[in-house]
Amino acid sequence: MDVVMIEEWIGLKVKIMISSNPNDVGIEGEIVNETLRTISVLDSNNVRKMVQKKGACALVLDSNKILELDKAIFRPEDRTKKLYKKVVS
């Protein structure tokens, strides 16, 4: 499976596979917001659930790619810049 780190995450359909909070495991829905330390997932019941990035990993349902949330504890606008530099270098 590929890892998705640089591209935009808002709008991706995901399922939380690993989390430091056991209540977050299994949350499935569309990412509707991203902050420095969290993502917000809108589930099928239109309930917004906040997931901590620290200790979390998600599966992108449409493409079977992985979001390593734990390695992306940046503001969304900084995440793309910083991680792009690591890939290019």
DSSP H helical ranges for 1-89? 76-88
The dihedral built from the CA positions of residue 65, 19, 36 and 47, taken in this order, carries a sign that is positive
Domain parsing of the chain, residue ranges: 13-84
pLDDT higher than 60, residue 35? yes
pLDDT higher than 60, residue 13? yes
Which class is 13-84 in CATH?
A: mainly beta
Cα–Cα distance, 81 to 1 (Å, whole number): 23
CA atoms within 13 A on the CB side of 39: 34
pLDDT tens by residue, 64-89: 889 999 988 888 888 767 665 554 44
pLDDT number for residue 83? 63
pLDDT higher than 70, residue 4? no
pLDDT number for residue 26? 97
Compute CA distances 9 → 22, 77, 89, whole Å.
22, 11, 23
Report strand pairing: 38-42 vs 13-18: unpaired
pLDDT number for residue 32? 97
